[in-house]
Amino acid sequence: MRWPAVLALVLLSGVAQGAELKSPFRDCGECPEMVVVPAGSFLMGTVPRPGESLPRAEREPVLMRIPKSFALGRFELTRREFRAFLRESGYEAGVGCRVWNEAEERFELDRARGFNQPVEPRVPRDDHPANCLSFADAKAYVGWLAKKTGKPYRLPSEAEWEYAARAGSTARYPWGEGADEGCEFANLYDLAGHEHAAFAAEYAHCNDGFAGLAPVGALRPNAFGLFDMIGNVAEWVEDCYTDSYAGRPRDARAWIWTGGCNLHGLRGGSWLSPPAQARVAVRGAAEPTLRASDVGVRVALDLEAR
Ligand SMILES: [Ca+2]
Ligand SMILES: [Ca+2]
């Protein structure tokens, strides 16, 4: 089903009336800082422009309702936070990470690389996003965090992710329609990246200041106070990936099925993404075993138990 643009604008009035942003919080010293995302509704997907070709996965939008407020990581999970998990749990960060080979302009599996030995960032800092994490690593982390805090930490659903990333925006990007206006908000493949690597892909014609991974929160947040939803590292969501929204739950629940998924959703694109691949509705996916230098985690939390 296609949605006429005028109808879409009417439907997308969005965030619950009277919602006001609450202060961020964290449940322990090395726990992720959390932002309360208000309840609301939104159109998930992209209304195609006349003549525009978009993947089926996003071009048949669905009206979604997020019935209750929830909390989402203010930032991508950081190296410091993931290291606390490794230290306290004894979990081993595996090796074998998909990295970008600049010389050959392609991704390749580097069996010697992993969270502890990333190619990027070249000089890792505590506040860089944790990367080279598989879906299982992400689940292990949120499981540990839930046990440690006694609170229902988990991965975000795909609906929650897009709702939170849009933060009330109906545009192609949370900041508006143009990729070239996004360098204040998102670390993508931009002039800085192009000057450094110059691989053959479209780039944003502005300078976000980062040719590689940026520390979390280096750029401006969206209207919900969330940083780096678009770009930097792509983020795992709980949902199995499908190539259509037909039949999916129309609320905040993740769309998963017993027996496991061949592919899980990845959202937001990364610092390596051409801007068109980092639009807010673009649906990425990967095998749950994939560890990649451009993939990380953002945690979510149910609030009813608080
Ligand atoms: Ca960049
Ligand atoms: Ca991100």
List pLDDT tens digits, range 159-179. Answer: 999 999 999 999 999 999 999
Residue type at 66 in one-letter notation: I
Whole-number pLDDT of residue 259: 87
The overall average pLDDT reported for the chain is 92
Q: Is the pLDDT of residue 9 over 50?
A: no
Ligand nearest to the CA of 271: 1
Quote the ligand 1 centre to 17 CA distance (angstroms). 35
User: Is a pLDDT exceeding 80 seen at residue 45?
Assistant: yes
What is residue 19's predicted lDDT score, i.e. its pLDDT? 58
3-state secondary structure of 179: helix
Please determine, for residue 6, whether its predicted confidence score (pLDDT) is greater than 80. no
Place of tokens 């990425």: 284
pLDDT in the model for residue 306: 46
Q: How far is C-alpha 254 from the chain's CA centre? A: 15
What's the pTM?
0.93
Ligand 2: centre distance to CA 294 (Å): 9
Angle at the Cα of 268 (from 61 to 247), degrees rounded to 5?
A: 30
- Using alpha carbons, select from 296, 291, 297 the residue that is nearest to residue 108: 291
Ligand nearest to the CA of 214: 1
User: Is the separation of the CB atoms in 55 and 283 below 8 Å?
Assistant: yes
Handedness of CA 301, 302, 305, 306 (dihedral sign): positive
102 band by pLDDT with thresholds 50, 70 and 90: confident
Residue 233: nearest ligand to its CA?
A: 2
- Tell me, what's the pLDDT at 34? 98
**Confidence band of 20 (pLDDT split at 50, 70, 90):** low
What is the structure's pLDDT at 104?
86
Separation of CA 208 and ligand 1 centre (Å):
5
Under 8 Å CB-to-CB from 202, ≥6 apart: which residues? 189, 274, 275, 276
Task: Tell me: pLDDT of 2 over 60.
Answer: no
The SS3 call for residue 207 is coil
Answer yes or no: is pLDDT of 10 > 60: no
Give distance in angstroms: CA of 192 to centre of ligand 1: 6
**Residue 5 reports pLDDT greater than 70:** no
Give pairs for 259-263: CB < 8 Å, separation 24+.
Answer: 260/288, 261/288, 262/287, 263/287, 263/288
From the CA of 11, how far away is ligand 2's center (Å)? 27
* Residue-level pLDDT at 16: 58
Residue 156 has pLDDT above 70, yes or no: yes
Tell me, what's the pLDDT at 147? 98
Distance 190 CA to ligand 1 centre (A): 5
pLDDT at 79 over 60: yes
Does 263 have pLDDT greater than 70? yes
Residue range 208-221: mean pLDDT, rounded: 97
User: DSSP characters for 110-168?
Assistant: EEEEETTS-SSSSS--TTSBP-S--HHHHHHHHHHHHHHHTS-EEPPPHHHHHHHHHTT
Q: CA–CA separation, 223 vs 101, rounded Å? A: 35
Question: In this structure, how many other beta carbons lie within 10 angstroms of the beta carbon of residue 104?
Answer: 9
Indicate which ligand has the atom closest to the C-alpha of 272.
1
- Mean pLDDT calculated for residue range 61-71: 97
Neighbours of ion ligand 2 (CB under 5 A): 228, 232, 268
Percent of residues, the chain, with pLDDT higher than 70 = 92
**Residue in 268, 264, 259, 266 with CA at minimum distance from that of residue 240:** 264
Higher pLDDT, 235 or 19: 235
Q: Would you say 211 and 196 are in contact if contact means Cβ atoms under 8 Å apart?
A: yes
Who's near 108: CB < 8 A, 6+ residues apart?
A: 98, 99, 101
> Which is nearest to 75 in space by CA: 114, 27, 116, 130?
130
The predicted structure's pLDDT at residue 15: 65
Whole-number Å distance, alpha carbon 193 to ligand 1 midpoint, is: 5
pLDDT class for 3, splitting at 50, 70, 90? very low
**Nearest ligand to the CA atom of 298:** 2
Q: Cis bond leading into 121, ω under 30°? A: yes
